[in-house]
Amino acid sequence: MDVPVTERITEDGTVLAVEGDSKLTARDIVVPSDLSSAAFFIVAAALHDGSELLLPGVGLNPSRKAVLDVLIDAGLDIAVSARREINNEPIADLLVRGSSGSASGPLVISGDIVANLIDEIPILAVAGTQLKVGVEVKDAGELRIKESDRIAAIVENLKRMNADVEEFADGFRVGRSQLSGARIDTFGDHRIAMAFAIAALFAEGETEIIGSEAASVSYPAFFEELARVIY
């Protein structure tokens, strides 16, 4: 928009500055599809044999794409194509095909990468119930103080669905499990609502999600979109 922006590195970090009284020039702006929201659909499709789902124009900003890297490393069939930049943001199309994943060792999420995955951990926990190696999350104590205590919410709801799950102070471990339908509590948390809607797709029997309207905080049309791609 033709606003002068300066960047400088200091001892305290990167400082960005814009000039006051700038004249903004109108531009066409394209907002990429949100990878964090797409992650729910990626897990749903990638872990259902025979599924195929195309997600066009997904944002792949390096600070947000850790969830995609983890899922690909776990052996899920996700093809990244048509890489391009729009408005200085990297985007690509994602083609997801159903498979069970082929990671050879335990999928452990810990250390520095946790900060770039903190919002996707609920759906990664659900993915762990379907992966041969499961998933273990450490160093994620921040989840205790999100919209809900997400560690407690994940563990409680997975236990209700008869999952193999163990809680830690700063995370949890989930083993591959045959999920059963259950009455799920979102605790008013949008990401818990969406993650367990995906868990319900893997479960035998009916699942009831109490407080499902919480999903509208970040994805008002989530359940409509989910129904559209399933049926």
Active site residues: 119
Q: CA-based Rg of the chain, rounded to a whole angstrom?
A: 19
Residues 174, 135 contacting (CB under 8 angstroms):
yes
3-state SS track over the chain: CCCCEEEEEECCEEEEEECCCCCCCCCCCCCCECHHHHHHHHHHHHCCCCCEEEEEEEECCCCCCHHHHHHHHCCCEEEEEEEEEECCEEEEEEEEECCCCCCCCCCEECHHHHHHCCCCHHHHHHHHCCCCCCEEECCCHHHHHCCCCHHHHHHHHHHHCCCEEEEECCEEEEECCCCECCEEECCCCHHHHHHHHHHHHHCECCCEEECHHHHHHCCCCHHHHHHHHHC
* Dihedral sign of CA atoms 124, 126, 127, 131 in order: positive
